[in-house]
Structure formats: C-alpha cells, structure tokens
A and B are shown apart, each in its own frame.
Chain A
Amino acid sequence: MRRISLGTALIFAGLLAFIVAAIGADVFASNDPLRQSLLLRLRPPGTATATAYFPLGTDDLGRDLLARILYGARASLMVAALSVSVSLLVGVTLGLMAGWFGGWVSIVAMRAVDTMLSIPAILLAVLTVAVLGPGFFNLVLVLGLTRWPRYTRVAYAQTLQVAALPYVRAAEMAGCGPGRILLRHVLPNIAGPLMVVATSEFGLMILFEASLSFLGLGIQPPYPSWGSIMSAGRQYVVRAWWLTAFPGACLFGVVLCVNLFGDWLRDRVDPRSQGR
C-alpha cells in the first residue's frame, strides 16, 4: 500500500466534513431553515437580533442562510447519492448481463445505451419531470434513469475481459450459476472502474440537480438544496452576494473534492494512468 499523501488526506477530510455537516444539520443549525421573517430579508452575514443570530445572513424571505445551507447539503448529497445508486443498479445489471450472455442480450442492451446516450440528458430530465411531476423521489428516479448507460458501457467492457479469465471459467466449469458467478467473481473484479465512474457522476448529479433547480424543477419549495438556494439567490448576486457565494463555495468544494477523489481512485484502479 502506498502512503496517502497530504493532499489526498485533505480531500478525504473535506468530504467527511460535508457529510458530517449534512447528517448533523439538526445539531449545527441554530435556526429553523424554513422559518421566515419577512422584516429581516437579505440581512448580511453576522446579523444579530434580540432573539436570533444569523452567522451567514438571511435569504430573500428572511430565513437563516446557514441553516438552509446545512439542510441543503443533506438534500443535495442525498439526491446525488440515491440517483447514483439507481443508475448503478440499473446500469451494472444490464452491463453484467450483456457482457456475460452476449448475443441478443448484448445487442439489445447496447442499442438501448446508444439510444439513451444520444438524447441530451438535460432535455430528457426536463421532459420526464414534466410527466412524473417534481419532488424528491421523482428527482432521484429521473436522474438515476437518465444516467445509467455510462455504467452499462463500463460494466459491459469490463465483464467481457473478466469473463475470459481462467478462474471465472473454472467457476463456470464447477457448475456455478450465472447469477453466482456474476455477483461473486465478476462484480468484485470490475468494481474499481465502476467506482471511478460513480464518483465523477456523483459530482455531476449535484450540478444536475442545481441545473434543474435553475429551470424551476428541482427540490420542491420551501425545502432547500444548494441548487435551489443558489438559483433563488442569483437575482441578488450584487446586492446580497452571500446568498450565492456561500452555497456556491460549498457546492464547489464538494464537487471538486469528489472529482479529485475520483482522480485518485482512477490512478489506483487504472494501471495505465500510474505510469510504469
């Protein structure tokens, strides 16, 4: 095992901090993220009243920005994590089956992949939200179901390689069923590259939710996500910079950390990029 560098440690620490903040939102937020005070709109960071303190200021309905960012972290990270899980489940299942069975299974699966990839993801998402209606679970479903083909491609290519390995052949000879072989022998071997895809997708999903919020189809009001806080706050980018700067910095931090983590993971998984 190589030792983990300082930079990598920082990335891990950063990610961990955001996850802790999201989980512990109830503990860290001193104010209710939904509580409005219309007479305290757009107050700058550090505003204090007789009854409350707003370390990061208030939004355009007089709600505590810190509390909203903390609860927003929860929504943004949950949406990303769950939608990545949905895509992984669908994409990997199809990819494993296509790679193992080949023939018409692979033809159908890979044509479906082509089809899905050639529809611009954002348009597909907007259309599907129009049909299903918005809301947390629909959002997860829509994001998950538009992004699975990337996993299928990787899982398929990897399964083809792994399936040819002697010990997999041996397991097949020994009479193991395809389900068992795929789960016990193939999946663990291809998990690395899949994780690499999943990490970069995780960052993309956070941004994707933000885009949908910008188009008015993200997390339902009044609940916050980073994307919805920012798209509501961009109107005030000059007058109340804190409304976009703080959630923007958080979003930037998380996506950057996730991407750097993805790069790190890729270097460990993909021997080509390690140099020889």
Chain B
Amino acid sequence: MNRIDKKFQELRRENTRAFMPYLCAGDPTPQLTTKLLLTLEEAGADLIELGVPFSDPIADGPTIQRASERALKHRTSLHQILDLVRELRQLTDIPIALMSYYNPIFRMGEGAFCEAARDAGVDGVIVPDLPVEEAQPLLEVAPMYNLATIFLVAPTSPPERMKNIAASSTGFIYCVSLTGVTGVRNTLSDEVAPMIAELRKHTDKPISVGFGVSTPEQAKQVAEVADGVIVGSAIINVVEEHINDEAKLLTAVKQFASELAAGVKA
C-alpha cells in the first residue's frame, strides 16, 4: 500500500489529523533540505510536501518565489531531487509527495517521471498547473507505479468540478483555502469550511487544506474540518530568517513546526 494511504488510515483510526509541511527542495541548499525534512519529521510531520523549484511559479507568492530562486541558484533539478529522496529513504519512511509545476515533468516524460519517482521512494505527485482536463497522460501511468495523483480544488470550483477532481485524486485531495497564491495570511479564509462541506458530499477521500495556513491557531481551525493541514510559506519564512546560521535555522524550524503540529493535533 502507498505510504500516503497507509498514513491517512492510521490517522483515521487514531481520530487525528495530518500535519503536512511544505519544503522547497534545494532551499537554502540541497544538503539542508535533507536535514530540514528530518527535522520536520521529528517535530511531528505526518507527510512532507517536497516542492520542485521552478523558474516561473505562477501559483506562488513572494516567499516561495524566493525559495525557488535560491534553490535554482544551486541548479536543483527534478533528477537531483529524486536522488535526494532516494538517499532520504535510507533514513526515513515518512510519506513524500512531490509538488512540481508541469513542465519539468512533461520534459522528463510522464512515464519516465513516474517510474523514477517510484524507484526513488516518492509516494505522490501534486501539479498545481495541471487541471484534471489536461491530466490524462499522467493519470494513465501514475497508478502503474503506485504513485498518488493529488489534484487541487479551489474556492471557485463548482460542485460538478469538485466531483471530477475528487474522482481523479488518489492519496488525498488538496483543498486551496483561498482565491490567491501561496503565502502567509493574517486570517484563515472563511471559504474553507463550506468548501470542505461541499467536497465531502462527493467523496470520502482524505481532504487536506493548504495556501495561507500560517499559525498554530489557524492550523487548529483547519484541523477541525479537514483531514490534513498543509503549511508552506510560514515555515520558509523561518528558514529565511536564519538563513546564515544552520544550527539556529534547524532549531527554529523545529520549534515552529512542533507548535504547528500541536495545533493540528489539538
């Protein structure tokens, strides 16, 4: 069984929610990505969303744009990220979903990508600029490699689209909390609860919420309605703050991630 499915089954049995932090692979360096990922696991992460940096990240706000630029300075490629996951698999069994814009995957070829991802130990893939209408080539091959295809639902998605997106998704469904790009927000969007209520009518698959979730308090609010809570930019802000001091960076990330995890599990 796919590690993502297994994790959500476990959490359901325990009646608890998933804490799912996002990291941009290669930010600030590929070496630190490995350490950060393990630190997040220690802090209570249930699943890691590992971002593949892209030159033109249209769904991302300034924080992840900067993270991508830093990662691309090291020329972090999809191949290297798969190598990184392969090495990580010696150290951890935490579920890993890759979040990549479509072009790097298209460039590698869906078949080659899915095979390489499976071999490296990746469990799922999230492609923010690939709506279900264009996803046929990926949907045809991903199941052959036991790779979850996680699609996004937005506040603008009407019920009929939600239904199709839910049907195409495996692992979990990624609920975008707001109309906007990724990034820290002061308050949680009030569109989350009604969106999840609608989505639940069409599926019993796990639903995780991301975009804008920034504080332990917001994480707690999301965990009241969703199965998983995704936090990205808020963690990267902590990374940025201590970018020149690795020890401090890891301590601070661990501290913040533990608080987020406590929020999710509260």
Is the A/B pair a real complex? no
